[in-house]
Amino acid sequence: MNIYLIRHGHSVGNGLGRMVGWSDHPLSERGQAQAEAAAARLAPLGPMPVACSDLRRARMTAEVIAAAWAGAVEPDVRWREVSCGTMEDCPWEDFQAVPGLQAAFDADPLGACLPGGESVRQMMARVVAAFTELCARPEPALAVVAHDGPIRAVLAHCLLLPPERYWTLATDHGGITRLVYANGWMRVAGVNDVSHLA
């Protein structure tokens, strides 16, 4: 099974310098172009099911990709980015203004939460559960449109990295990561391919 993990295109929220987790921003013009480029790259490899985060920036990207095969998308809340809680859409400067918050993240970057939000560790657990279910499906190929955090979580899981190595991974908007799953083994065949965006 080939599994393609695609980071959603650039969103309106990405350019605002704010904390964007579950904030539901649409794609920007640049993001729409990135989605179309990813769709053109994947079109010859399908048809295939397209799962996605239910947030607009991911769903819009997924719909562009699925349209190449006249398919529908499969939204799943477990593919969402980490929740920023009550600090969604707040300027990053507000993070420094909350007493003790920086110290909490310095002490436990994976376990600390923004007020009303979730930790990276919690996000990783739900994403790995969703990913494990996908791996049990019978299709020869699948696509998942998600966010940087969930894609990093899957990569860390597949590479058997210690959780703290999550922070060493990164993806670009519209980037495509390819995994190959066969006979109980997972192979990371390509990470963050952006050649179609050039």
The pLDDT tens digits for 65-110 are: 999 999 889 999 999 999 999 989 988 888 888 889 999 999 999 9
**In the structure encoding, which two tokens stand for residue 166, read together?**
């999550």
- pTM (predicted TM-score): 0.95
pLDDT on residue 12: 92
pLDDT on residue 94: 86
Query: How high is the mean pLDDT of the chain?
Result: 95
Taken in order of first residue, the domains within the chain and their CATH numbers are 2-197 (3.40.50.1240)
Strands 141-146 and 2-7: parallel
pLDDT one-digit tens code per residue, 112-127: 999 999 999 999 999 9
pLDDT one-digit tens code per residue, 159-197: 999 988 999 999 999 999 999 999 889 999 999 999 999
pLDDT on residue 43: 98
What CA–CA distance (Å, rounded) separates 61 from 39?
Answer: 9
pLDDT band at 15; cut points 50, 70, 90: confident
**In the structure encoding, which two tokens stand for residue 61, read together?**
């990207």
